[in-house]
Homo-oligomer: A and B are copies of this chain.
Amino acid sequence: MGGQEIEQLIRLLGRLPGFGPRSARRVALYLLKEPQTRLAPLAHAMERAGNAIKTCSSCGNLDTIDPCHICSDPLRDQGLICVVETVGDLWALERAGVHRGVYQVLGGTLSPLAGIGPEDLDVAPLFEKLNKGTVREIILALGATVEGATTMHWLMDQLAPYGGVTVSRVAQGVPMGGALDVLDDGTLAAALGARRPA
Contact surface of A with B, Cβ cutoff 8 Å: 1-6, 8-9, 12-13, 15-18, 23, 25-33, 35, 38-43, 45-53, 61-65, 68-69, 86-88, 91, 94-95
Contact = CB atoms under 8 A, between A and B. Distances in A.
Contact of A50 (B27, B43, B45): B43
A5 B95 CA distance: 18
A38 B14 CA distance: 12
B64 A2 contact: yes
A68 B3 CA distance: 9
B30 A39 contact: no
Contact of A29 (B8, B13, B88): B88
4 smallest CB-CB distances across A and B, nearest first, come from A3-B64, A43-B46, A5-B52, A9-B49
A33 B48 contact: no
A6 B64 contact: yes
Contact of A88 (B12, B26, B42, B46): B26
A68 B17 contact: no
Given A5-B48, A16-B42, A46-B46, 15 more contacts: A1-B95, A2-B62, A2-B69, A5-B45, A5-B52, A8-B45, A9-B48, A9-B49, A12-B41, A13-B42, A15-B38, A26-B88, A29-B62, A33-B87, A35-B53
